[in-house]
Amino acid sequence: MENERIVVLDFGGQYKQLIARRVREQNVYCEIFPSEIGIEKLKELSPQGIILTGGPNSVYAPESPRFDPGIFNLGIPVLGICYGSQLMAYLLGGEVKSAPVSEYGHTEVCIDKPDSLIFKDIPSSGGSSKITSWMSHTDYIAKAPAGFEVTAHTSNCPVAGMEAPEKKLYAVQFHPEVMHTEYGAGMIRRFVIDVCGCSGSWKMASFAEKTIKELREKIGSDRVLLGLSGGVDSTVTAVLLSKAIGKQLYCVFVDHGLMRKNEGDEVEAVFGPGGRFEDLNFIRVNAADEYFEMLKGVEEPEEKRKLIGNKFVEIFGKEAKRLAGTGGFKYMAQGTIYPDVVESGTGKDGAVIKSHHNVGGLPRDLVVELGFDEEPVEPLRALFKDEVRKTGLELGIPSELVNRQPFPGPGLGIRVVGEVTPEKVAMVQEADAIYREELTQAGIDTGKGQFFAALSNMRSVGVMGDFRTYDYAVVLRGVITTDFMTAEAAEIPWTVLQTCMNRIINEVKGVNRVLYDLTSKPPGTIEME
């Protein structure tokens, strides 16, 4: 059914996006909302189910996030996860205590009620079963509320799962959304399909057609301005808008000098005159010198992100003012996708993982001055990265563009650890080009994740020929992921890594060491900064 929806309430949990992604994998639409959402808003959304995320707080702390316990009486199924399970127990009269032994990471969970709907996929023997789960908590449920049955436990957590099926209330202390939990995806599926009664009929297939129609109706004969980076998100956004309104779309490409090798020219070749998608107005602004001057002496990652984002707004704003003199614009468009929205914070309890310069649009005074509608056009705002790619293929965008390696808005500014200089960017560009070339020649499927070179801030002693060197270390990063919410390091053959190392050290001036990053996400992020 088109109107089926699961709502995820965010209590500051680091895995909130994963929960939403796992629900969408069941072909059920899902959105994340701040925990402080009111009960009337929830009624208005009319979800088939509600999932409460984990979070870093204790339910007893005065500043800990809460919500209206009346939600439990709406007749809507609720699944509490980690902090969400503790909050459910606490608000309904159970007992939550500080754990004598905190549980973090892989933990064995004993399933006490294998016939529970959400444990339906877990094989049992003799009326019980055990699974390996992912735990992350310091408090625990010591006693379930009246009317609840304990469905799981661990050696340190007496209530690792509980349920009141007649009230459609379920809770688990562990994280079923994380890949480290056995049968976790099945638990999410059973809650969404069996408990909530969703049909699982939401598909991406109709998204492009529906969105083009909606864009055409919304925009009418007005003009739209888009900041085009040439990445997957902005490319799909540009093509959607181009198919909807054609030459009414103006795309401003700000070349900040922080792109991959030759990429600025490649973007122009695709969208400029004579390019594959020329049914739009393409404007290129070369601004590398301004960016490098601005970044002198700046080392802190979040500061770099904000400076790069603010400079984009400044330059984009100047160009917007110039273009506005040719007829004016009603709308600004952005390639915002769902992880951008969530990582920038969903509410007062939502953690800001990192800033995204394409969330929030231009400053209000500039929006007013230019006459833009206050709400930007963001056709991809509800999609995850893999869903954006599917949409791109549906639009007829060649797979080499749709499946190109993801690239962050701040560009190489966050793939150079520490201060960003033209010399360091050149090192990364050359090393990255070599890395990608060797991966292609080796036949490694880079479409399954993200592969890139970065420059560490570490300098070390080396020997080249008969001379001592004191140069930088390049870090090669390769991760396998489908949703970019979690990722594992790619197992690149040793011979390929050795070839990359030899070429980079011999061909890239200023580099005398090459490292391979094995860190997964979590605990790391995919990008270096």
Sheet holding 6-10, edge to edge: 30-34, 6-10, 49-52, 78-81, 169-172, 161-164, 149-153, 95-111, 129-143
Give the DSSP per-residue string, 270-327: HHSTTSTT-SSEEEEEE-HHHHHHHTTT---HHHHHHHHHHHHHHHHHHHHHHHHTTT
DSSP summary character for residue 114: T
Which one is catalytic: 25, 103, 163, 177? 177
Looking up tokens 């030899």 gives 502
In sequence order, the 6+-apart residues with CB closer than 8 A to the CB of 147 are 164, 167
Beta pairing, strands 30-34 & 149-153: unpaired
DSSP state of 383: -
Q: Quick check: helix, strand or coil at residue 351? A: coil
Catalytic residue, candidates 175, 256, 356, 357: 175
175 as an active site residue: the answer is: yes
Q: Is 82 a catalytic residue?
A: yes
- The verdict on whether 153 is a catalytic residue reads no
Helical ranges in 25-166 per DSSP H: 39-45, 83-91
Residue 482 backbone phi and psi in degrees, to 5? -110, -30
d(CA 480, CA 449): 4
Q: Among 316, 350, 258, which Cα is nearest to 15's?
A: 350
The structure tokens listed for 138 are 């310091």
Signed CA dihedral, 444, 453, 343, 135: sign only: positive
| Residues 418 and 301 sit within 8 Å (Cβ to Cβ) | no
The closest alpha carbon to 384, from 21, 23, 29, 51, belongs to 21
Q: How does 107-119 read in b/e, with b if 16+ C-beta sit within 10 Å?
A: bebebbbbebbbb
Residue 340: which residues within 8 A CB-CB, separation 6 or more? Answer: 356, 358, 359
Query: Residue 497 in contact with residue 444, Cβ under 8 Å?
Result: no
Question: Which one from 4, 30, 82, 430 is the annotated catalytic residue?
Answer: 82
Just list the catalytic residues.
82, 175, 177
